[in-house]
Structure 1
């Protein structure tokens, strides 16, 4: 066991020696240990400690705080989206093969900074799950939700550490834009029942999220299959996997939340209509029988058994 740990430590140190030196001064970027602990702590809290703590407690009323949080996240996501554009994607970045610029130019360092902020945003977004638990909306803490949050936070540390820039930031650009829209929706929803009429587009938000994964997957497959782009091969596969896994998971969510729910509602409506028709028919039949009986009694023709 000790031998195995020593080998693992040696491989890890050799790997970290190849990391981008420009990020070494950023907080939490020296070693991967804190990132691992942070992700595992999130998983422990949202899958065990949080639900256990709230089990016999009343939901917290965090509506105002959550509304402010969502507004802040809209602003933060907008800033990140703008910085990704200004650092390359709006100017001279290529959608086919864009290698990471490891220089110390102002634009390259700006890209490093926004990549770091994007990773930090993934940890801030852990609060999404905490709010669900605090409100006792445990049904929202799905495998899709937890897997998405934990995977993005954990893997993006490695992306910032080794390749903070280049083609790997395209999906971050798209994700920041999607989150601008998503947190706008959450912000309106958190304002209370009287604002529910403004969020009729919930299912279209899911379509929007699914579209981003198709775009991300298509972009990465195109780069990998048709261009000899000098970018860490492992990150290419990870990003393509993002698109594939999340598209499948979101598609399943769509089927469960909308397709099957619509079928159940249609079936329930049909059953209620059939039951109502049967009941009304019985009432009419009973009404006719009672009317005949009453007339027979009045005429003295009713028979006693």
Structure 2
């Protein structure tokens, strides 16, 4: 009978077994992640899989991380620098977005102009999550019921970026921007419309996946809460304080 080496005490054996257990657990977890990733990329709508940035979530995740890094470290980078004059850049950008909504880069302009007060939790949460929402919508449930959200959102952004375009012309245009409050009301109306549309489809015979309906409903409620809070603080609380 072989004798156990003296240095292999019961404590040492326990630690070795524990280490092996951790390694096996990590390997199992990694395998599950790989299986989920494979399922996620292979079970999308085949019509949109060839589209740019649709097949895999990795480019979207990388974009999201870059977006957060810009929002966090951009103000620190600009701290000792003069704000950029981006008047004409913003004019072109905003009026282009009347037709094309690509607002993921809007924070970069805020940072370069040192408008940090506009980089709020609402702003980052809304823009940071929408990139994943639209990716999932285009990959898994394009067309059909999804058109309503896209149609409504596109219309609101036409109005919204028209406002930003006019604002970018300079302070002398402020007298034409009296309708900012109504723009926020239009955004809220959009969110309530989406909530009603989505909740209705949870109780009707609709082929659209209930899981997506439920997710959209819960998400849009969070947006309504945040935008309502913004509306209250911006248009009601400030007005009360001035009075």
Aligning the two structures, in what range does the TM-score lie when normalised by the shorter sequence? Answer: 0.7 to 0.9
Matched residue SS, 1:22 = coil
Looking at structure 2, the residues matched to 149 and 236 of structure 1 have their Cα atoms a distance apart, in angstroms, of 20
Looking at structure 2, the residues matched to 245 and 169 of structure 1 have their Cα atoms a distance apart, in angstroms, of 21
Partner deviation per Cα, 1:230-264 (whole Å, 9 max, x = no partner): 12222212221232111110100011111110111
Partner residue in 1 for 2:49: 24
Partner residue in 2 for 1:133: 111
Partner residue in 2 for 1:300: none
Partner residue in 1 for 2:11: none
Q: How does 1:137-148 map to 2 (within 5 A)?
A: 137-148=115-126
Looking at structure 1, the residues matched to 99 and 56 of structure 2 have their Cα atoms a distance apart, in angstroms, of 30
Matched residue SS, 2:51 = coil
Moved over 6 A (4+): none
Task: Note if contact 1:59-1:134 (Cα within 8 Å) is conserved in structure 2.
Answer: yes
Task: Note if contact 2:98-2:162 (Cα within 8 Å) is conserved in structure 1.
Answer: yes
Total equivalences in the alignment: 218
Q: CA deviation at 1:14?
A: 2.2
Q: TM-score, normalised by structure 1?
A: 0.69
Matched residue SS, 1:71 = helix
What is the Cα-based RMSD across aligned positions, in Å? 1.2
Partner residue in 2 for 1:221: 199
Partner deviation per Cα, 1:32-63 (whole Å, 9 max, x = no partner): 111111111101111x2211111111111001
Partner residue in 2 for 1:161: 139
The unaligned stretches of length 5 or more in structure 1 are 77-120, 267-305
Q: Indicate yes or no: 2:219 matched with 1:233.
A: no
Matched residue SS, 2:173 = helix
- Computing the radius of gyration from Cα coordinates, the structure with the larger value is 1
Partner residue in 2 for 1:288: none
Looking at structure 1, the residues matched to 152 and 167 of structure 2 have their Cα atoms a distance apart, in angstroms, of 23
Task: Note if contact 2:152-2:190 (Cα within 8 Å) is conserved in structure 1.
Answer: yes
Partner deviation per Cα, 1:174-212 (whole Å, 9 max, x = no partner): 110000000000000000111111111011111111110
Matched residue SS, 2:208 = coil
Partner residue in 1 for 2:240: 263
Task: Note if contact 2:202-2:213 (Cα within 8 Å) is conserved in structure 1.
Answer: yes
Partner residue in 2 for 1:105: none
Partner residue in 1 for 2:60: 35
Q: CA deviation at 1:2?
A: 2.2
Task: Note if contact 2:75-2:116 (Cα within 8 Å) is conserved in structure 1.
Answer: yes
